[in-house]
Structure 1
Amino acid sequence: MNDRILRVLEFNKIIEQLNNQTATSLGKDLAIKMNPSIDVNEVIQLQNETDEAAQIVRLNKVIPLGGIADIRESLKRSAIGGILTISECLDVANTIYGGRQAKVFIENLEEDLTILKELADLITPLRELETHIKSCIDDHGYVMDSASHKLRSVRSSIRTFESRVRDRLEGYTKTNSNMLSDAIITIRNDRYVLPVKQEYRGSIGGIVHDQSASGQTLFMEPKAVVDLNNQLQEAAVKEKQEIERILRELSEHIASQEAFLYENVTTLGKIDFIFARAKYGQQMKAAMPKINDKGIIKMQQARHPLIPIDEVVANDVEIGETYTSIVITGPNTGGKTVTLKMVGLCTLMAQSGLQIPALDGCEMAVFDDVFADIGDEQSIEQNLSTFSSHMTNIVEIIKQVDYNSLVLFDELGSGTDPQEGAALAMSILDEVVSRNARVIATTHYPELKAYGYNRENVVNASVEFDVKTLQPTYRLLIGVPGRSNAFDISKRLGLDNGIIERAKSHIGVDSKSVENMIASLEKSQLDAEKDYREAHQILLDSENLREDLNKEWKQFEQKREMLYKKAEEKAEKALTKAREEAEIIVDEIRKLKTNTNMKEHEWIEAKKMLEEAKPNLSSKQENKITEPNPSREELQPGDEIKLLTVNQKGEVLEKVNENEYLVQVGIMKVKVKRKDLQLIGKQKQIIERPLATIKGSAYHVSTELDLRGERFEDALLKLEKYIDDTLLAGYPKVFIIHGKGTGALRKGVQEFVKKHPSIASARPGSMGEGGSGVTVIEFR
C-alpha cells in the first residue's frame, strides 16, 4: 500500500486513535509503524491475536503493563561495555517486574488463549537480576547504602565530616552573627560557606566562593573549616567512584542477560499492541471479520470508523460474489464519498489486524493493492485542472490494477464536458471491470444509471434522498440507481408549477421512463425492507414466546414432580403407619391362636400380602400414578380381578349391589367398590380354593438355607422369613446350613427353632447331610 492511498483514506487518523489505546512506548512504536499486510495467513493470524485479547477486554480484565519501558538502547550500550545510569538500571528492573506480572496474568486466564499464552511463554522472569538491581537502587532512583560495604563506610564518613563542618560554622553564626547577612549555613561549589557582610571580610578570613548580586554579601569558607571541607570533598569523590563501580557491575549483569531482556521487551511490546487493537475494537463496537482471498466483502450495518457512532448512518455493503462492481449515483452531500472511504478504510483496517465497525459475521478480502481517486487534488504548481488531476491518478491506477485490487473512483469522469465525461467514465469502468478487479465508483452522470443493467458483474446503487425534508438520509440502496430530484425539490421550495411542467416537457421520453423506473425500484425496495423488518420482528417475538413457553413448561414439570414426590412421601408414611399397626394386631392375635383354629401359615400369608401391598411408586413421568379407570363391565363370580388400592390380584365371590362386590384377596374376603377393581380375566365357574392349600410350586422356595458368612442378626432375620416361606410352600423338612465355626450361629439357630410353634423337631445333620454344620428342621 503506498503512502498516498493511506493518506487519502485517512488511515493515519486510525493510527492516532489506536495509539491512544497503548500502555507502553513499545506498543506506541508498533502502532505508529502499523501497515496493512497483503499476506492472507498473516492477516488471519493478526485477527486471531486481536480476537483473543478482545475476549479478555470484554470481561473487563486489564492486563498489567505498568512500569515497562523501552530499554533496547540501554541493552545495546551495556552489551558493548557501557555503564548504564541509575535510571536506566531501574528501568530494566521495572521492565522485568512488569513482564513477569503480564506473564502471570495471561497464564492464570481460564479462557482458551493459544496465541497469548505462547507469547507469555517467551517472557523470562529473570528474578535474580531484578533482585540484584533492587538491592542496590530504591524506587526513587537512589543508590542505597546497602549496595556495598564500602559505600556504607564512605557515606558514614561523609555524614561525620558534614556534622563537624556544620558544628564549626554554627559556632560562627552564634558568636559572629553581627558580621553575617543571615545566620545560616549554605553551600557554594559543593563546599559549606557563610553569608558574610562585605565590610567584615577581613574579620572572618578564609576563601570567597561567591557574592550576591549587589556585592554586599560574600559567601566565604572560613579557614577553620577548609580542611574539613577538603576531607568532605575527598569522601564525596570516593562515594561517586563506588557508585560508578556498582553501576558497572549492574551493567555487566544486565549485559549477560541481554538476549532474554531483548526478547522480553519485544514480546511485551507486541502484547501491548495486540491489546490496544482489542480495546480500539471495543471502543468502536467492532467485530472480527472472516478473512478470504477471493475478493469478497460482506458487511452488515457497517459504519465509517472516523465518524462518531451516534452520528454515522450504518449501511449494508456486499461485493465480490454475485457482482464485482458497484456504481453509486445520487445527490451531492448524500454520503457517496463517505461510503467509498468506509469500504476502503475498513479493508485497510482488516488487513492490519483491526476489527471493523460492523455486525458479527462480516467478511473481508485481502487485496494486494487498494487504489483510490477521491477528492479534488488539482495542483497550481503543476498547472493541473481538476479533470487533469483525476486523469493523472486514473492513468497510474490502470497501469497497476489487476484481479486482486480494490479500486475506488469518486465522481468518475467529472470536470469536463458531461457527454464526453460520461463516455470516458463508462470506458474506464469497462477496462477495470474486465480485469476482474473489485470496483466501487460514484458519479453524477445519468448515462451511467443504465450502465449496471447493460454489463455483467455490475450493479447500480444510490444514496437515498428524502424529498419531504430536502435532506439526504445517507442510506445506501443496492440495486437501485439514483434519480434526479430537481423538480420535486424546486416544487417544495415554491417554484411555480407552470415552470416545472414546462421543464418536464423538455425532457425526452426515455429520460422520463428511466426516472419512473427508478422511482418504482426505490418504492419496491423500501417496501421490501419494511416487510423484512416486520417479518424479522415477528420472528424475534416468536422466539421470545417459544422461550417463555419452554420456561413455563419446565416450571410446570418441576412443580408436578414436586407434588408427586410429596404425594409419595405422604403415602409412604401412611403405609408405614398401617403396616406397624397391622403388625401389632397380628402379634396380638398370634398370642391368642391357641384359642382359634387358624394355622400358622395363614398368618404368615396375611403378613406377606401386607408387606407386598406397597404401591409401586416412581418419580419418573412414565411411572407416575394415574387415576384408576376400570372398565364399567359388570363382574361375575369367578372373574380374576386386581384390587387397585393394594395392587393385589384376587377373584370375585359375589355381587353385593350395583357398585360393590365381595372379593377374595389372599386369605381375606373384603367388600370393594367397583371403581377400585380392574378386570383381568373371565372365569367360567367359581373356583373354590381352601385357604391353606397354597403349595411350594407357587413359591419356588429351596429346601436349603445357607447362612454362612452372615452376621448373627441378619442370619436370624433371614431364617425367620425362610421358615414363613417354607410353611407356605408346605415342605415337611428343610435344611439350615450354618457351618461349624465358633458355634455361635449354630446355637442361635437351635434356640430359634426351639421357640417356633410350627417346628416339630430339629436335629443336627447326619454324615451325609453335613454333620454338625447343618440343622435339619421338621414341621408339624
Structure 2
Amino acid sequence: MDNKILTTLEYPKIKHRLWQHAATTLGQNRVEALLPATELEEVKQRLQATDEAYKADRLKGHAPMGGIVDIAASLHRARIGGMLNSAELLDIATTIRGARRLKRHVEQLHEDDPIPLLATLAGQLSDARQLEDEISACINEQAEVMDSASTELASIRRELRQGEGRVREKLEQMLRSSSVQKMLQDAIITQRNDRYVIPVKQEYRSHFGGIVHDQSGSGATLFIEPETIVVMNNKLRELKVGEQREIEKILHRLTGRVAEYEQELIVDLDLLGQLDFAFAKARFAHELRGSLPRMNDRGFLKIKRGRHPLLSPDSVVPLDIELGNNFTTVIVTGPNTGGKTVSLKTIGLLSLMAMSGLFVPAEDGSQLCVFDAIYADIGDEQSIEQNLSTFSSHLTNIIRILTSMTPKSLVLLDELGAGTDPAEGSALAVAMLEHIHRTGCRMVATTHYSELKAYAYNRAGVINASMEFDVQTLSPTYRLLVGVPGRSNAFAIAERLGLAKEIIDHARGEVSDEDMRVEHMIASLEADRLQAERDRKQAEELRREVEAQQQKLQEQQRRFEEQREKLLEKAQEEGRQAVFKATREAEEIIADLRKLALEEGASVKEHKLIEAKRKLSEAAPQKQQTKRPAGAPTPQKIGAGDEVVVHSLNQKGHVVEISGKEATVQLGIMKMKVALDDLELVHRKPAQTKQPQQAASLKRTRDDQVRSELDLRGANLDEALIEVDRFLDEAFLSNMGQIYIIHGKGTGVLRSGISDYLRKHRHVKAYRLGNYGEGGNGVTVAELK
C-alpha cells in the first residue's frame, strides 16, 4: 500500500490514536508496524482477535498488562555472553510474572465465554516461574542485590556494616574533643571518594594531620581523613571491592540462567505483543463506538451510518452508501464545502481500518471489502489558485493510478478534471472515468462538471450521487444522496442573497435549454426524494407507534397471565382447604354412623341413614357459581313454583321463593339460594284459579318456615294421612313444586296407604318412590300442580 495514499486518507492519525491505547512498548511496536492486509483470511483473523478482546474487555474489564516490558535487548546481550545489571534482571522477572498473570486472565475468560484465538495465544506462553523465583530471591523491587543472594555477600556486608560502625564511632569521639571542635567548620561526618572525612577549617590544616580529599568552593573548608582512621577506611574499601566482585558473580550467574530461557522468552515477547495489540484495538473500538464489519473479497461495500473516525461523533453527519452490487461507480456532484471530500475519505479510511483488523465507526451489519490496493487522488480545492502545475500534479497521480490499479482495487478521485479548461477538463474526466469503469474496479469520484451527470445516466453500473444542500438556509447538510445528481443552486443562492431579478432572469437565458431541462429534472427528482423521505419518516413513526402499542398489549397480557396464575393458585388452595374440611366432617359423620350401629345392634334405622346422608351433602364444598354461558337466551321473569335450571350446578329444581335478586330453589332434598341471573326457566307453573273468599282466610307470613319434607316414621296410617293432608295444603300455598314424605320401609302398610291417598289428592300432579340418594323405598316424592 502506497504510504502517500495512506497519508492522504489520514491512516497514520488512526494509528497514532491506536498507539495511545497500547499498554506496553511491545504493543506499541506492533501498532507502528501495522499495515492493511490484502488477504481475506488474514483480515478475518485480525478482526476475530479484535472481537474477542472487545468481548473480554466488556465482560472483565482491561487485561492486566502491568510489569510487562520489552526485554529483547537484554535477552540478546545475555545470549552473546554479556552481563545484565540488576535493573535488567528485575525487568525480566516482572515480565515473566506479568505474562503469567495475563495468561491466567485470558484462560479464565475463555472458560466463561469462549475466546479461542486469544486463548491459543495465551496458552503458548512459556512457564519460566523457576527463573523468576531465582531472580526474585536475589534482587528486590528496588533493583538491589539482596544479602540473601549468597552467603559470601551476606558475610561481606555484615563486616562492612561493623567496620562502618567502628569508623563512625572513632570520628564521633574526635568530634566530641574540645581541641578538635575549634578546628572544624561543622561537627559532622561525611564522605568523599567513598571514604569517611570531617570538614576542617583551612587555617588549621597544619595542625591537623591526615589526608585531604576535597575542599569547598570557597577554599575555606578542607575535607580531611584523619590519620587514625586511614587504616580503617582502607579495610572498608577492600570490603566494598569484595562486595562488588561478589555482586558481579551473582549477576553473571543469573545472566547465564536468562540465556538458557532466551528462546522461550523471545517467543513470549511476540505473543505478549500480539495480545497487547489485540486489547489496544478493543479499547480503541470502545472509544470509536465502532462495530465489527462483515468482510468479503468480491468488491462489495455497504456502509450503514458510517462516520469519519477523526471527527466528533456528535457533530459528524453519518454516511450511507452501497457499492459493488448494482453499480460499481459512484459520481458525486455538489457545491464546495458540501462534504464530498469527507465522504471520499470516510469510504477509504473505513476500508483501510477494516483491512487492518479494526472495528469501524458504523452501524452493525455494515459490509466492507478486502481490496488488493486503495488508490486516492484527493486534493484541497478551496484555493482559487488552480493553475497548470496543480493540474499536472493531479494528472500525474491519476496516471500512476491508471497504471497500477486492478479489478480488485478501490479508486477514489476528488474533483476529477479540475484545474484546466472546463470543456477539456470535462471531456478528459469522462474519458478517464470510462477507462477506469471498464477495468471493473470500484470507484467513487467527485466533480463539478454537469457533463458527468449525463455520463452516469448513460452507463450501466454507474450511478449519480450528490451532497444535499438546503437552499432555505444556504448551507450544506453534508448528507450523501445516492441516486440523485447534484444541482448547482447558483440561481437560488443568488436570489436568496438579494441579486436583482432581471439579472437572474438574464442569466437563466444564457443557460442552454438542455442544461435547464437537466436542472428541472434534478429538481423534480429531489422533490420526489424529499416527499419519499417525509413518507418514510411518517411510516417509521406509525411503525414505532404500532410496536409500542403491541409491546403495551403484550405487557398487559403478561400481567393478566400472572394474575390468572395467582387466582388459580388461590382457588386451588381454597379447594384443597374445602376438600380437607369436607373430608374431616365426612369422617366425623361416618364415625357417628358406626357409633349408632354399635348402639342399635345389627342395623341403623332408615331415617337415621337419610339424616346422615343429608349431613354429608351439606358438608360437600359448594361449587363456585359461574356466569350464564355466552349466547344463552335472555332470562325470562321467574316466579315461585316454576321449574328452572341452575347453570352453576347444572341441575333442575323448583323455585320456592323470590327475594330481590335471589331465589330459594328446591334441588332434591336440598334447598339453596341462587342468583336470578344463574337461573333459566324450563317450565312455568300454570296459573291457579282464584279460590273462594273464605278459602283465603288462612294467612301465612314470610317468616313462617315451610319445610319440603314430612317425617311420618312411627305414626299409624290414620294419623299419617291427617298430617299428609295438612302438609300438602301448606306446600301448595307456599308454591312448592316438589315435596318429600318420609315413611320408612317397615312392613309397607304406611307406604301403600300414603300412595293411595296421593293418587286421589287434588294438589298432587304425580308421585314416585325416592331414588338412590333420596331414601329409596323409605321416601315418597310428590310433584304438586
Relative to the length of structure 2, the TM-score reads 0.79
Q: Are 2:482 and 1:483 aligned?
A: no
1:467/1:160 CA distance change after superposition, 3 Å: same
Structure 1: gaps of 5 or more residues: 378-382, 618-624, 680-684, 695-780
Tell whether the 8 Å contact from 2:578 to 2:621 is kept in structure 1 after alignment: no
Shift of 1:577: 2.6
Q: Are 2:338 and 1:334 aligned?
A: yes
Q: Distance in 2 between the 1:323 and 1:687 partners?
A: 97
Tell whether the 8 Å contact from 1:579 to 1:610 is kept in structure 2 after alignment: no
Q: Distance in 2 between the 1:257 and 1:616 partners?
A: 86
Q: Distance in 2 between the 1:306 and 1:354 partners?
A: 14
Q: What is aligned with 2:51?
A: 51
Q: Distance in 2 between the 1:673 and 1:569 partners?
A: 25
Shift of 1:216: 2.5
The residue identity in structure 1 corresponding to 2:89 is C
Q: Distance in 2 between the 1:117 and 1:608 partners?
A: 77
1:269-311 deviation per Cα after TM superposition (whole angstroms, max 9, x unaligned): 1111111111111111111100000111111111111111122
Q: What is aligned with 2:401?
A: 397
Q: Are 2:299 and 1:298 aligned?
A: no
Q: Are 2:20 and 1:20 aligned?
A: yes
1:384-423 deviation per Cα after TM superposition (whole angstroms, max 9, x unaligned): 7111111111111111111100000111111111101100
Q: What is aligned with 2:739?
A: none
Q: Distance in 2 between the 1:614 and 1:124 partners?
A: 77
1:495/1:567 CA distance change after superposition, 3 Å: same
| SS class of match (1:187) | strand
Q: What is aligned with 2:262?
A: 258
Shift of 1:602: 6.0
Counterparts of 1:650-665 in structure 2 under 5 Å?
none
1:242/1:537 CA distance change after superposition, 3 Å: farther
| SS class of match (1:411) | coil
| SS class of match (1:204) | coil
Tell whether the 8 Å contact from 1:15 to 1:31 is kept in structure 2 after alignment: yes
The residue identity in structure 1 corresponding to 2:67 is G
The residue identity in structure 2 corresponding to 1:153 is S
Tell whether the 8 Å contact from 1:99 to 1:125 is kept in structure 2 after alignment: no
Counterparts of 1:522-541 in structure 2 under 5 Å?
522-541=526-545
Q: Are 2:124 and 1:122 aligned?
A: yes
Counterparts of 1:500-649 in structure 2 under 5 Å?
500-593=504-597, 594-595=599-600, 597-598=604-605, 606=613, 626-627=626-627, 629=629
Q: Distance in 1 between the 2:25 and 2:769 partners?
A: 105
- Within the candidate set 156, 169, 172, 2:171 is matched to 169
1:415-439 deviation per Cα after TM superposition (whole angstroms, max 9, x unaligned): 1111011000000000000011000
Tell whether the 8 Å contact from 1:601 to 1:692 is kept in structure 2 after alignment: no
The residue identity in structure 2 corresponding to 1:385 is S
Q: Distance in 2 between the 1:627 and 1:279 partners?
A: 65
Counterparts of 1:216-365 in structure 2 under 5 Å?
216-365=220-369
1:706-762 deviation per Cα after TM superposition (whole angstroms, max 9, x unaligned): xxxxxxxxxxxxxxxxxxxxxxxxxxxxxxxxxxxxxxxxxxxxxxxxxxxxxxxxx
Q: What is aligned with 2:735?
A: none
Counterparts of 1:106-121 in structure 2 under 5 Å?
106-109=106-109, 110-121=112-123
- Within the candidate set 150, 153, 174, 1:151 is matched to 153
Shift of 1:72: 1.4
Shift of 1:536: 2.0
The residue identity in structure 1 corresponding to 2:335 is P
Query: Between Structure 1 and Structure 2, how many residues are aligned?
Result: 668
The residue identity in structure 2 corresponding to 1:333 is T
Tell whether the 8 Å contact from 1:602 to 1:691 is kept in structure 2 after alignment: no
Q: What is aligned with 1:462?
A: 466
The residue identity in structure 2 corresponding to 1:202 is S
Shift of 1:77: 1.7
The residue identity in structure 1 corresponding to 2:281 is R
Tell whether the 8 Å contact from 1:286 to 1:357 is kept in structure 2 after alignment: yes
Q: Are 2:76 and 1:76 aligned?
A: yes
Q: Distance in 2 between the 1:537 and 1:88 partners?
A: 65
Instruction: Identify which range, 171-180 or 150-159, moves more after superposition.
Output: 171-180
Tell whether the 8 Å contact from 2:589 to 2:616 is kept in structure 1 after alignment: no
Tell whether the 8 Å contact from 2:328 to 2:442 is kept in structure 1 after alignment: yes
Tell whether the 8 Å contact from 2:411 to 2:444 is kept in structure 1 after alignment: yes
Tell whether the 8 Å contact from 1:579 to 1:611 is kept in structure 2 after alignment: no
Relative to the length of structure 1, the TM-score reads 0.79
Shift of 1:642: 10
Instruction: Identify which range, 126-135 or 229-238, moves more after superposition.
Output: 126-135
Tell whether the 8 Å contact from 2:653 to 2:666 is kept in structure 1 after alignment: yes
Q: What is aligned with 2:411?
A: 407
Shift of 1:247: 1.3
Q: Distance in 2 between the 1:20 and 1:416 partners?
A: 43
Tell whether the 8 Å contact from 1:36 to 1:352 is kept in structure 2 after alignment: yes
Tell whether the 8 Å contact from 2:36 to 2:355 is kept in structure 1 after alignment: yes
| SS class of match (2:187) | coil
Q: What is aligned with 2:751?
A: none
1:677/1:399 CA distance change after superposition, 3 Å: same
Shift of 1:447: 1.0
1:145/1:292 CA distance change after superposition, 3 Å: same
- Within the candidate set 113, 121, 139, 1:137 is matched to 139
Q: Distance in 2 between the 1:327 and 1:194 partners?
A: 88
1:275/1:607 CA distance change after superposition, 3 Å: farther
1:434/1:686 CA distance change after superposition, 3 Å: farther
1:518/1:184 CA distance change after superposition, 3 Å: same
The residue identity in structure 2 corresponding to 1:173 is L
Tell whether the 8 Å contact from 1:151 to 1:243 is kept in structure 2 after alignment: yes
The residue identity in structure 2 corresponding to 1:518 is I
1:626-662 deviation per Cα after TM superposition (whole angstroms, max 9, x unaligned): 546599999xxxx9x99965x9xx9x79887897776
| SS class of match (1:203) | coil
Q: Are 2:88 and 1:88 aligned?
A: yes
Instruction: Identify which range, 532-541 or 222-231, moves more after superposition.
Output: 532-541
Tell whether the 8 Å contact from 2:589 to 2:615 is kept in structure 1 after alignment: no
Tell me how large the CA RMSD over aligned residues is.
3.3
1:370/1:608 CA distance change after superposition, 3 Å: farther
The residue identity in structure 1 corresponding to 2:300 is I
Q: Distance in 1 between the 2:319 and 2:251 partners?
A: 61
Tell whether the 8 Å contact from 1:181 to 1:195 is kept in structure 2 after alignment: yes
1:138-181 deviation per Cα after TM superposition (whole angstroms, max 9, x unaligned): 11111111111111111111111111111222233222122122
Tell whether the 8 Å contact from 2:470 to 2:477 is kept in structure 1 after alignment: yes
1:693/1:285 CA distance change after superposition, 3 Å: closer
| SS class of match (2:400) | helix
Instruction: Identify which range, 17-26 or 519-528, moves more after superposition.
Output: 519-528
The residue identity in structure 1 corresponding to 2:9 is L
Q: Distance in 1 between the 2:104 and 2:508 partners?
A: 75
Counterparts of 1:355-394 in structure 2 under 5 Å?
355-375=359-379, 385-394=389-398
1:417-465 deviation per Cα after TM superposition (whole angstroms, max 9, x unaligned): 1101100000000000001100000111111111110111101011112
1:165/1:342 CA distance change after superposition, 3 Å: same
The residue identity in structure 2 corresponding to 1:193 is V
The residue identity in structure 2 corresponding to 1:295 is G
Q: What is aligned with 1:3?
A: 3
Q: Distance in 2 between the 1:404 and 1:320 partners?
A: 11
Q: Distance in 2 between the 1:604 and 1:72 partners?
A: 105
Tell whether the 8 Å contact from 1:284 to 1:305 is kept in structure 2 after alignment: yes
1:420/1:173 CA distance change after superposition, 3 Å: same
| SS class of match (2:205) | helix
Shift of 1:59: 4.1
Q: Are 2:190 and 1:190 aligned?
A: no
Q: Distance in 2 between the 1:449 and 1:6 partners?
A: 29
Q: What is aligned with 1:103?
A: 103
Tell whether the 8 Å contact from 2:160 to 2:236 is kept in structure 1 after alignment: yes
The share of aligned pairs that are identical, in percent, is: 45
Counterparts of 1:423-434 in structure 2 under 5 Å?
423-434=427-438
Tell whether the 8 Å contact from 1:376 to 1:386 is kept in structure 2 after alignment: no
